[in-house]
Amino acid sequence: MIKINVHFYDKKSSMKGACVLVLFSCIMCLSICNTNAELERLQHSPKSGGSLSFLVVGDWGRRGAYNQSQVALQMGRIGAKMDIDFVISTGNNFYNDGLKSVDDPAFEESYSKIYTAKSLQKQWYNVLGNHDYRGDVEAQLNPILRKIDAKWLCKRSFMVNADYFTNPKDHTYDWRGVMPRVKYMANVLKDVESALKYSTARWKIVVGHHTIRTAGGHGDTTELVDLFLPILKANDVDFYINEHDHCLQRISSTER
């Protein structure tokens, strides 16, 4: 779990500035990615004092096991203390194989019945992880889930780890809506680059599931390093938040 409080001040002066969040599975601009067109924009205004507070959690869907319930308890306490505006999930929302359908009890057993604190009854912006693609991806994207739990919001974006596409091993992945892969990725990268390029926000934050650089066991994600990192650098993105490695790291570039 990561807690973030953003005060919107111009990085070059004392003037207040705006913030743009780009979520991707890769993208949110307090916008969420729609890969069939330009990035869909969802407005989430900061507090009157000029700040925005949110929690980030990933790799969590365990029906309360593996300390999920304890983390949820602490999230509730911190969320109340920070008066958070929303929660971001970086994917792997339901282990081990995503949701089977919109009626899968795992949705309530791993989500609704776990994150019950009053402070967490805010909008959740969710992206998809590799484990989510092992199940029925369309179930997590289905608006029916919002009728079950109004705080849930999940949009499709894209997966960039080539191993999951070319070498599924013992698992089956649901790639509906993301094929043909090369064309799909090219369109998404183009939309993302455009959204970041033309954004006038002074703070740009990108959220995804997979690592770009990491000291963890999964290693760097080559496609993100080659195709996505240059876009982030060219558009002065301030930081990138991800999961996948099941550990806490803070990695900074020596180039900035």
Strands 2-7 and 203-207: unpaired
Cis peptide before 105 (omega within 30 of 0): no
**Residue 8: partners with Cβ closer than 8 Å, 6 or more residues away:** 16, 17, 18, 19, 46, 50, 51, 52, 202, 203
With vertex at residue 113, the alpha carbon angle to CA 107 and CA 114, rounded to the nearest 5 degrees, is 100
| Residues 20, 199: Cα–Cα separation, whole Å | 8
186 conformational bin, left if phi > 0, alpha if psi -120 to 50, beta if neither: alpha
Q: Which of 7, 44, 171, 218 is catalytic?
A: 218
Measured in degrees and rounded to the nearest 5, phi and psi for residue 39 equal: -60, 130
Q: Is the peptide bond before 96 cis (omega within 30 degrees of 0)?
A: yes
218 is annotated as an active-site residue: yes
| Residues recognised as catalytic | 218
